[in-house]
Structure 1
Amino acid sequence: MNYKVGKSSKRDLSDAVSEATAGLKSPKLILFFSDVKNFETYTIKIRDKFENSIILGSTTFAGFCRDGAFKDTLLVMGIEDGIECYADVLEEVDKYPLKYIDRVNNCIDKFNNITNTVCFEISTALISCEELVLSTLNSVLSEKNIPLFGGSAGDQGKAERTIISFNGTIYENACAFVIIKNLNGKIKLYRENIYKPTKHYFTATKVDVRNRIVYEYDNKPAAKVTAEALNTTLENLPKYLDSYPLGRIIGSDMYITANQMVTEGNGMSYHARVYNNSKMVLLEPDDYKNVISETIEKVKKDVPNPSLAIMINCLARSMLFENDGYLNEFAKKMSNALGNYIGFAGYGEQLNEQHFNQTMVLAVFE
């Protein structure tokens, strides 16, 4: 597969685009990530330079590649060949993404066959749209057995504004998606979790699904149940919320649900939906360096010669690594398994039917 990953932190944004896209001729697909401040200008300049390419962009907390983790930097991946791909956008995703479902069908209909195909999507964050986006995309993709991976856009961690772009147009209430066929082999998807279950299990018994609030676990106020499990008081509970997320158990799988805050009436609000009767478990931090090493070994064993890789590393994980002085080392270390990859950090991760948080998702192309 012929592709390039480039980056630039030049102050002059035209120069930055030139540096980050140096060597790209006529890429079939461009993915780019940057800070919020310069994103709209980058969108227009990249579009003007590559009018015939499919271009998806997102704001991010940090961009990742084999050279490290970068903020206030434009990061670009351009894929020249080795793939076939078609893309579009779902709009009004906080309410009516289903109105745009024909755009998904139209993309799939362009392929002669859909073996070794995956859907990559980026949604705007902070509008609780992810579950609606997934149900819309998967209503088409799951029938065709096309797996999905993606992430919600990011910002500097202040939860103020996230933006995506598709082919030069800016969106703040949308999901851009691209269906990619690997012409050279399979595509493997991975999900990494650096939290482990405690002994505290609950069942959600009173829930506001749409607003992502659980009012009761096992018929008791959710915040009180959580505080008790953490052996702390309601007043001190907020201090623990970043480090002790919950796991939503589905069959033998567990998906991380990040705490947002304690609500009125001692409910708990989250960054992903919890459904009535969901089985939940309180999580605690695992030895994350150990977990990451295991992931790298697994990927290397499964895909010894990756041609391309895309990573979504949750914003909360990225902030944790940054506070530990590990973020740059983490990005470099991942290239042991992924080679010359690209990644971004946002407010949520998606894999197939599930939206979750505080996780890393990888797509590795053979």
Structure 2
Amino acid sequence: MNTPSSPIRTALIGYGYAARTFHAPLINAVPRLSMALVASSRPEQVRAELPSVEIEADPMQAVVAPCIDLVVIATPNDTHFPLAQAALRAGKHVVVDKPMTPDLSQASELRATAQAHDRLLSVFHNRRWDSDFLSVRQAMGEGLIGEARHFESRLERFRPQVRDRWRERPGPAAGLWWDLGPHLVDQALMLFGWPDTVQANLAQQRSGATTDDWAHVVLGFGATRAVLHAGMLAAIPGPRFVVHGTRGSLVKVQPDRQEQQLLAGLRPGDPDWGIDPDPLQWRRDDGPIQTRAAVPGDQSRFYAELAQAIAGDGPNPVAPDEAVRVMAVMEAAMRSVTQGRAVSLELEP
């Protein structure tokens, strides 16, 4: 492990949307992390935005570079496993963007490799630190509406045109469910634990779609149902969260704003960073509808806590066991689609 005073030399693998929008600015916001290397086939763009970093065209060479302590993998989903495996075997700590891998067996193998080489392995489930989720989690933890029995979590967008990008072309872990589903699943597991059943329905709704662009998945937790929904034809999106409990209900209408803030040039530490003006609405028993301020979000906490864990000062912010559980639910949803029925999940992986 690195000592608290030494910088953690970081390599960012890939420089597409996720890397440029999320990983690079969030890494640069953490003093303990030092961006030293970027692997990209577009060196001009990297040089214009990150002039002080070294650039490597070959991602496999970058993940084993001797000067690197931490490798952050933000490449297409089908490359996650070989790059992460090589980095771990080279003695690097590793962060993998979600989904961890295209299938559960590879996720379990990565976990075993990290254990064998005594390296930290984490997955970028950054939406644990969104204002909307933090607000709902706090209210549920306080018992504000009693025991939750119906939980809805939506990530809806209006993108009627199919774009020519790997996420929307057929391939391993492509499509909307594998893009947004890991966020929805991870948050549900944090709130409710391990589900008993998974029932999933996927569809291609846009003209020209070749992968799913609509997903509706229901997780069963005893008497509780968690409805996870994502779509690309929502010009008027539904509420981000709706929760009905034994004593009342709560609603969080607007989603977290950090992605839009990052795109607009805001960074962690700026005065408005993570501030969510949309309040949480709630009603208990027969009382009036009330509101409370949303909890501020801060996705840079993932990298701050990761740096602490590498230095031996705290726990892994997203432990491999947690990421493997997400993968197990993702894969169970695909079995449900194939079989056309709810599937059981009796044992945690």
Please give the TM-score of this superposition, normalised by the length of structure 1: 0.27
Please give the TM-score of this superposition, normalised by the length of structure 2: 0.28
**Higher percent of residues as strand:** 1
**Higher percent of residues as helix:** 2
